[in-house]
Structure 1
Amino acid sequence: MTYATLKRYLLIPLLTVAAILVSRNCVRAQSDNEGLDLSIELVDPKVLRVCADPRNLPFSNEKGEGFENKLAELFAAKLQKKIDYMYFPQATGFVRMTLGAHRCDVIMGFPQGDDLVQGTNPYYRTAYALISKQNSGLEDVKVLEDARLKGKHIGIVAGTPPATNMAANGLMVNAKPYPLMIDTRVDSSAEAMISDLNKGAIDAAILWGPMAGFYAKKANPPLHVTPLVNEKTGPQLVYRIGMGVRRADQNWKRLLNRLIQESQPEINKILFDYGVPLLDENNQPITAETATKSP
């Protein structure tokens, strides 16, 4: 065996040992830092930079009054980070101008399956809901095909999934549409719809669950909310909601997934306090008694 060959054979085991040592050191480092080195993913790893709408209750506003603000505060405390917001109206261009432009690192609420961002594990499940006044005769309506809705003036945000269900059930003739694409800094379709319901301008309203629950709870007297989980025609109206991050931010996503799992009872409590109609995987409502428990 030549010297060159011997040298090569000796080098292979040495490289193998070195590789094992490096691997062990990496594992040890991952154990110490939980494998989540965010320095190459986040612009400022010491700050929780949140993408949010400046005027879109119950989700967020500049005063920090929304439930997504409270969730961000919860996560910032757990991460021992400062919190900073990049506010932009949640309309066309929201993702591009915030998360996509690296001006923030997480969207606190994003529907599972939307391919604009990379989603975390979902942390709540809810549905579009029918809102009616107490003693209106519509409180126990559970599906849009119910005959009691025929001829009723129903508020609906144009272009949302339940509009298709309403059309399939012949309810659009007397419907009152509200705009989907608005500048939330100056307008709110949800507030306008609830105002019309309270004034009697419409007989019922259909809103995304968190909005339905929030505004129904604020009304005096409170309004009745029925999640539409039993629809047989049109698109499904039940969705899982997680957080949105950039596609390249794998470690950041894993860290958020872990925090979601560990914090689920606290998350549920915040959502329930805002009236969000929470649903389990069997479409059964999560009550105040179960809101502080993990699903």
Structure 2
Amino acid sequence: MLRSLKIPAGITIAAIAASWSAVAFTASLGLPSEPQGAESEAPANARQASDSKSLRICAARKQPPLSLEDGSGLENKIGAALAEAMALKPQFVWSDRPAIYIVRDYLDKKLCDVVIGLDTGDPRVATSMPYYRSGYVFITRADSDLDMKSWSDPRIAHLGHVVVPFGSPAEVLLKDKGLYEEDMAYLYSLVNFRSARNEYTQIEPSRLVSEVASGSAGAAVGFAPDVARYVKSSPTPLRMTLIEDDAVKSSGEKVAQRFDQSVGVRREDASLLQQVNTALTRAKPKIDAILQADGVPLLPVAN
């Protein structure tokens, strides 16, 4: 959900929040700390008392496809499966703000107790054992011959527009290849030219996919859990290919493409973390089925 956003070299916190998940940005796009200068906010209606029969799950009210108030979000379903495996009732504590703020404004203030979909090892929290691993994908039209699997593919230089999430590893690599400047005006047109320097701004995952389906972009790059649902449901047949984890900048610096995902709890909640880890083992078949139903490609966890 928070896309515990691994920050690639050359990308500042201000530039990302100024990307997810989540829902997640997305590692996925998640920040090691929430954007500086953003006002901390925890509405009074979020103060739901904890009880021994419920699991309070931090969640963004509207961050499709990961978190939605009707419970249809990918990570809402995973949270419900986790609660069931703990013999608890899922109690969602909803935030009206993007999920990127949830750790600071909700978890740290003890308004909720777990966050679904953080990168394993996120320094803001104690993270559970990984419950799945996935990565960034290339999205292209199925009727094209663009079956790219690696950022080293020379065809990338001739794609025309490439839709990428702001602050993502894909943006870093486009810049490193000298392809970003000619794409920048197009990308910002997808968010009505809102400045990412002054507010949290991100291209909706559904828009990443629809731009390729319509032919407006030659390809898109997204974190698989963010885009798989839309690729699967697209009326225009699309190809989604996991990107090999071999991407490097011209300097030789690695730019990770694949990430383990975990549940986050407050660092001092050792007992809850242990319970979550035990429950994740029980819930794994159900969680895998939820991910597969959305079309998320799964990899063996690294940790």
User: What range describes the TM-score normalised by the shorter chain of this pair?
Assistant: 0.7 to 0.9
Corresponding residue for residue 249 of structure 1: 269
Corresponding residue for residue 154 of structure 1: 162
Q: Residue type of the partner of 2:291?
A: L
Q: How many residues align?
A: 238
* CA–CA distance in structure 2, aligned partners of residues 85 and 94 of structure 1: 12
For residues 36-68 of structure 1, give each alpha carbon's deviation from its aligned partner in whole angstroms, at most 9, with x where no partner exists. xxxxxx932221111011112221100000121
Residue of 211, 214, 217 corresponding to 1:199: 214
Identity %: 29
Q: Residue type of the partner of 1:212?
A: V
Corresponding residue for residue 242 of structure 2: 227
Corresponding residue for residue 83 of structure 2: 76
Q: Residue type of the partner of 2:70?
A: K
**Range that drifts further, 72-81 or 118-127:** 72-81
* CA–CA distance in structure 1, aligned partners of residues 69 and 145 of structure 2: 39
* CA–CA distance in structure 2, aligned partners of residues 137 and 160 of structure 1: 25
Cα offset, 1:233, TM superposition: 0.9
**Range that drifts further, 80-89 or 125-134:** 80-89
Corresponding residue for residue 266 of structure 1: 286
Moved over 6 A (4+): none
* Residue 86 to residue 220, structure 1, CA distance change in 2 (3 Å): same
Contact between 1:53 and 1:61, CA under 8 Å: does it hold in 2?
Answer: yes
Cα offset, 1:281, TM superposition: 4.7
* Residue 231 to residue 221, structure 1, CA distance change in 2 (3 Å): same
**Which secondary structure state, in structure 2, belongs to the residue aligned with residue 63 of structure 1?**
coil
Cα offset, 1:91, TM superposition: 4.6
**Range that drifts further, 232-241 or 124-133:** 232-241
For residues 67-89 of structure 1, give each alpha carbon's deviation from its aligned partner in whole angstroms, at most 9, with x where no partner exists. 21212222222333222111123
Normalising to structure 2: TM-score of the pair? 0.72
* Residue 107 to residue 59, structure 1, CA distance change in 2 (3 Å): same
**Which secondary structure state, in structure 2, belongs to the residue aligned with residue 206 of structure 1?**
strand
Q: Residue type of the partner of 1:217?
A: K
* CA–CA distance in structure 2, aligned partners of residues 56 and 93 of structure 1: 12
Contact between 2:55 and 2:90, CA under 8 Å: does it hold in 1?
Answer: yes
Contact between 1:51 and 1:87, CA under 8 Å: does it hold in 2?
Answer: yes
Residue of 205, 219, 230 corresponding to 1:215: 230
Residue of 152, 177, 191 corresponding to 2:187: 177
Contact between 2:135 and 2:257, CA under 8 Å: does it hold in 1?
Answer: yes
Normalising to structure 1: TM-score of the pair? 0.74
Q: Which has the higher contact order (CA 8 A, sep 6+)?
A: 2
Could you list the runs of 5+ residues in structure 2 that have no partner in the other structure? 1-48, 250-254
For residues 189-232 of structure 1, give each alpha carbon's deviation from its aligned partner in whole angstroms, at most 9, with x where no partner exists. 21222222222211100111112212111111332111112433
* CA–CA distance in structure 1, aligned partners of residues 92 and 123 of structure 2: 23
RMSD: 2.3
* CA–CA distance in structure 2, aligned partners of residues 78 and 262 of structure 1: 6
Could you list the runs of 5+ residues in structure 1 that have no partner in the other structure? 1-41, 283-294
* CA–CA distance in structure 2, aligned partners of residues 51 and 91 of structure 1: 9
* CA–CA distance in structure 2, aligned partners of residues 281 and 113 of structure 1: 13
Contact between 2:151 and 2:247, CA under 8 Å: does it hold in 1?
Answer: no
**Range that drifts further, 158-167 or 203-212:** 158-167
* CA–CA distance in structure 2, aligned partners of residues 163 and 247 of structure 1: 31
* Residue 92 to residue 210, structure 1, CA distance change in 2 (3 Å): closer
Contact between 1:91 and 1:182, CA under 8 Å: does it hold in 2?
Answer: no
Q: Spell out the pairing of 1:1-295 with structure 2 (5 A cutoff).
A: 43-88=50-95, 89-138=97-146, 140-152=147-159, 153-175=161-183, 176-177=186-187, 182=200, 189-234=204-249, 235-281=255-301
Q: Residue type of the partner of 1:177?
A: L
* CA–CA distance in structure 1, aligned partners of residues 177 and 150 of structure 2: 10
Q: Residue type of the partner of 1:105?
A: D
Cα offset, 1:182, TM superposition: 4.2
